[in-house]
């Protein structure tokens, strides 16, 4: 097996870990991060937390409203599709199940942290540039009055059992390379989603994207070296002067004006996320998946629509975290192509010699882990760049072991300060990596969040 950089196509809190095979330190760090979510103590003062929580919830509520406002606004959408896919209002934020992991872990008390913890925090801050100002950035450890997960039931998903219903049949994809040992099984089904469903989802994504792209995204990098490499690619003098000194305080993001100048110069895919219960379509989809693949709705995370423009793909990666012992990891993936791509955009499993050509409505489902919950490295796959046309997909990841926060919408971090609709672009691993536009923010760009996991 060749050594490669991997990272997951998206960041769900418990599996933010990006395994860098060539860099065990990074790997350890990220692994610790994954585990840290469940085990880390608080590092931040509780005094500010209430304020931040209120502000955070306010931003979140605003974002939620605008999100659904955007999703619901699709004048050209056939009404039945609109009703099916976009019809519901967001859950009332007050009733929402908020997660109790990672940065949202409930505090035992509101007292200040012991000195050693404070020191740790300060030393991590010391690494930052002097230019970034006087106010220490605060990464909130939000205090939740009450965090409840009604009806949560621990579930293990260690098998994929496809089932044909009516004239819709699954085809097992033949593995073409000689691999001694693979647990990966890949199936496809044509017309898993109807044409109207595909179009409705794409339309919802496009409208949503427009709603979020008024001011352009804020661009964040996994580290300074990565940023340097991306900027080097842009042959303009002003980009040479940008360094981590220019990161927005506490983050690995450039400010809105610099990000805007890079807009159009860096390329990326766009992703819209929605969560179980936020749309009738989420229920339609997860029920269909459960009936036809045996994948349990409770083990599913968020739903993600991703569109790739010409020239953009997604690097070779595994959906699970290589070598990770945490079984709250992606056991299986379902991906549905929402359109036909004129050229390129295949899903390629390089270790298995498998290449799947996008086709509107076609589903691709595969396993990433063995039945004991180990990540199978033969599941390496990539989205080859679109050569001509555009490629849109809907994806959902199903986890081996579910956890209460799975599939729940997270409150957004308060940094960088931004409007509720400002999207985020995450760029990582220049040589084999990519930049990706997201409609929602997670915590990966926060320096202190990362430092906390060290
Ligand atoms: C920050 O500034 C102080 C004084 O100007 C200097 O001594 C220190 O080395 C600087 N730290 C960094 C990380 O640049
Ligand atoms: C498969 O097994 C054979 C015989 O044990 C070995 O020579 C070969 O290197 C293995 N291939 C891989 C891809 O591990
Ligand atoms: C954004 O960052 C650039 C580069 O550091 C800086 O020149 C500019 O003043 C910043 N703009 C704002 C609005 O902070």
Judge if 440 and 338 occupy the same domain. Answer: no
Domain residues for the domain of 422 are: 218-262+414-454
Judge if 189 and 320 occupy the same domain. Answer: yes
Ligand 3 pocket test target in 133, 216, 246 with most atoms within 8 Å of CB: 246
- Which of 192, 209, 208 lies closest to 360 in space, CA to CA? 192
Distance 9 CA to ligand 2 centre (A): 29
Residue nearest to ligand 2 atom 7, measured at CA: 180
- Residue at 93 is within a domain: no
Instruction: Say if ligand 3 is within 6 A of residue 261 CB.
Output: no
Judge if 165 and 301 occupy the same domain. Answer: yes
pLDDT of residue 175: 94
Instruction: Say if ligand 3 is within 6 A of residue 431 CB.
Output: no
Judge if 194 and 328 occupy the same domain. Answer: yes
- Which of 100, 48, 59, 12 lies closest to 414 in space, CA to CA? 59
Dihedral of alpha carbons 314, 317, 318, 323, sign? negative
Ligand 2 atom with least separation from CA of 180: 1
For residue 416, whether the previous peptide bond is cis, meaning omega lies within 30 degrees of 0, is yes
List the CATH number of the domain containing 403: 2.60.120.620
- Residue at 53 is within a domain: no
Instruction: Say if ligand 3 is within 6 A of residue 180 CB.
Output: no
Instruction: Say if ligand 3 is within 6 A of residue 370 CB.
Output: no
pLDDT of residue 360: 98
pLDDT of residue 214: 72
Judge if 222 and 361 occupy the same domain. Answer: no
Judge if 327 and 348 occupy the same domain. Answer: yes
Question: What does residue 328 show for φ and ψ, rounded to 5 degrees?
Answer: -80, 65
Residue nearest to ligand 2 atom 6, measured at CA: 180
Question: How far from the centroid of its chain's Cα atoms is residue 62's Cα?
Answer: 21
Ligand 3 atom with least separation from CA of 245: 5
- Residue at 104 is within a domain: no
Half-sphere exposure of 157 (CA within 13 A, CB side): 29
- Which of 137, 375, 119, 402 lies closest to 276 in space, CA to CA? 402
CB 99, CB 13: distance < 8 Å: yes
Judge if 394 and 255 occupy the same domain. Answer: no
Ligand 3 atom with least separation from CA of 246: 5
Contact partners, residue 220, CB within 8 Å, separation at least 6:
251, 252, 253, 254, 424, 425, 426, 427, 444, 445
Question: How far from the centroid of its chain's Cα atoms is residue 207's Cα?
Answer: 20
Euclidean distance between CA atoms 11 and 16, whole angstroms: 5
* Ordered DSSP codes for 262-327: HBTTB--EEEEEE-TTSSHHHHHHHHHHHHHH---GGGEEEEEEEEE-BT--EEEE-SSPTT---S
- Residue at 134 is within a domain: no
- Residue at 448 is within a domain: yes
Residue nearest to ligand 3 atom 9, measured at CA: 257
- Ligand index nearest the alpha carbon of residue 352: 2
Euclidean distance between CA atoms 296 and 397, whole angstroms: 11
Ligand 3 pocket test target in 130, 256, 257, 418 with most atoms within 8 Å of CB: 257
**H-helix segments, 15-114:** 24-39, 49-72, 79-81
- Ligand index nearest the alpha carbon of residue 180: 2
Instruction: Say if ligand 3 is within 6 A of residue 258 CB.
Output: yes
Distance 434 CA to ligand 3 centre (A): 25
Query: What is the reported pTM?
Result: 0.71
Judge if 244 and 343 occupy the same domain. Answer: no
The pLDDT profile of the chain, 454 residues, written as one tens digit per residue, is 443 444 454 544 343 333 333 333 343 334 333 333 333 333 344 545 656 666 666 666 655 544 444 443 333 344 444 444 443 323 332 333 433 333 333 333 322 222 223 222 333 333 333 333 333 334 444 333 334 556 788 899 999 999 999 999 999 999 998 888 899 999 999 999 999 999 999 988 888 888 887 778 999 999 999 999 999 988 888 898 999 999 999 899 999 999 999 988 999 999 998 888 877 888 899 999 999 999 999 999 999 999 999 999 999 999 999 998 888 899 999 999 999 999 999 999 999 999 999 999 999 999 999 999 999 999 999 999 999 999 999 999 999 999 888 888 777 788 899 988 899 999 988 777 789 999 888 888 888 765 544 3
For the chain, the domain total comes to 2
The residues that bridge with 426 in the sheet, in sequence order, are 220, 436
Judge if 205 and 252 occupy the same domain. Answer: no
- Residue at 324 is within a domain: yes
- Ligand index nearest the alpha carbon of residue 351: 2
Distance 129 CA to ligand 1 centre (A): 8
Judge if 319 and 421 occupy the same domain. Answer: no
Euclidean distance between CA atoms 420 and 57, whole angstroms: 11
- Residue at 378 is within a domain: yes
- Residue at 59 is within a domain: no
Residue nearest to ligand 3 atom 14, measured at CA: 255
Instruction: Say if ligand 3 is within 6 A of residue 246 CB.
Output: yes
Euclidean distance between CA atoms 102 and 410, whole angstroms: 11
3-state helix, strand, coil in the chain (%, to 5): 30, 20, 50
Contact partners, residue 69, CB within 8 Å, separation at least 6:
211
71: burial class by Cβ within 10 Å (0-12, 13-18, 19+)? buried
Ligand 2 atom with least separation from CA of 178: 13
Tokens 């599709």 — which residue? 81
- Which of 300, 385, 414 lies closest to 54 in space, CA to CA? 414
Judge if 419 and 400 occupy the same domain. Answer: no
Buried b (16+ CB within 10 A) or exposed e, 324-342: bebbbbbbbbbbbbbbbbe
Distance 130 CA to ligand 1 centre (A): 6
Instruction: Say if ligand 3 is within 6 A of residue 355 CB.
Output: no
Judge if 324 and 192 occupy the same domain. Answer: yes
Distance 120 CA to ligand 3 centre (A): 29
| Region class of 151: left (phi > 0), else alpha (psi between -120 and 50), else beta | left
């Amino acid at each position: 097996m060749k050594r490669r950089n991997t990272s997951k196509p998206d960041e769900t809190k418990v599996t933010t870990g990006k395994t860098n095979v060539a860099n065990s330190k990074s790997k350890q760090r990220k692994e610790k991060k994954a585990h840290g979510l469940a085990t880390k103590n608080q590092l931040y003062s509780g005094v500010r937390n209430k304020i931040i929580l209120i502000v955070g919830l306010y931003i979140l509520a605003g974002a939620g409203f605008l999100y659904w406002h955007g999703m619901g606004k699709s004048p050209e959408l056939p009404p039945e599709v609109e009703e099916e896919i976009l019809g519901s209002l967001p859950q009332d934020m007050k009733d929402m199940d908020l997660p109790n992991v990672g940065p949202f872990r409930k505090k035992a008390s509101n007292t200040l942290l012991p000195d050693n913890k404070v020191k740790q925090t300060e030393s991590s801050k010391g690494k930052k540039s002097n230019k970034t100002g006087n106010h220490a950035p605060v990464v909130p450890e939000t205090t939740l009055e009450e965090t409840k997960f009604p009806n949560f039931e621990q579930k293990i998903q260690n098998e994929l059992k496809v089932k044909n219903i009516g004239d819709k049949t699954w085809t097992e994809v033949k593995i073409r390379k000689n691999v001694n040992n693979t647990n990966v099984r890949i199936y496809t089904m044509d017309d898993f989603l109807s044409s109207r469903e595909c179009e409705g989802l794409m339309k919802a994504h496009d409208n949503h994207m427009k709603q979020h792209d008024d001011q352009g995204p804020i661009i964040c990098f996994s580290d300074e070296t990565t940023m340097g490499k991306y900027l080097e690619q842009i042959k303009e003098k002003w980009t040479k002067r940008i360094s981590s000194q220019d990161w927005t305080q506490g983050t690995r993001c450039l400010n809105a004006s610099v990000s805007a100048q890079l807009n159009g110069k860096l390329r990326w895919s766009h992703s819209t996320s929605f969560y179980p219960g936020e749309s009738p379509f989420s229920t339609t989809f997860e029920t269909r998946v459960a009936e036809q693949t045996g994948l349990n709705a409770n083990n599913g995370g968020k739903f993600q629509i991703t569109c790739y423009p010409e020239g953009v793909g997604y690097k070779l990666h595994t959906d699970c975290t290589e070598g990770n012992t945490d079984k709250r990891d992606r056991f299986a993936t379902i991906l549905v192509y929402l359109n036909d791509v004129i050229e390129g955009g295949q899903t390629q499993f390089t270790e298995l010699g498998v290449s799947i050509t996008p086709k509107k409505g076609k589903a691709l489902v595969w396993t990433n882990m063995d039945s004991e919950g180990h990540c199978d490295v033969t599941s390496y796959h990539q989205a080859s760049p679109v050569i001509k046309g555009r490629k849109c997909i809907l994806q959902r990841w199903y986890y081996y072991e579910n956890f209460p926060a799975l599939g729940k919408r997270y409150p957004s971090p308060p940094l960088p300060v931004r409007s509720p609709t400002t999207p985020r672009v995450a760029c990582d691993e220049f040589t084999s990596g990519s930049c990706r536009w997201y409609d929602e923010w997670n915590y990966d760009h926060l320096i202190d969040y990362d430092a906390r996991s060290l």
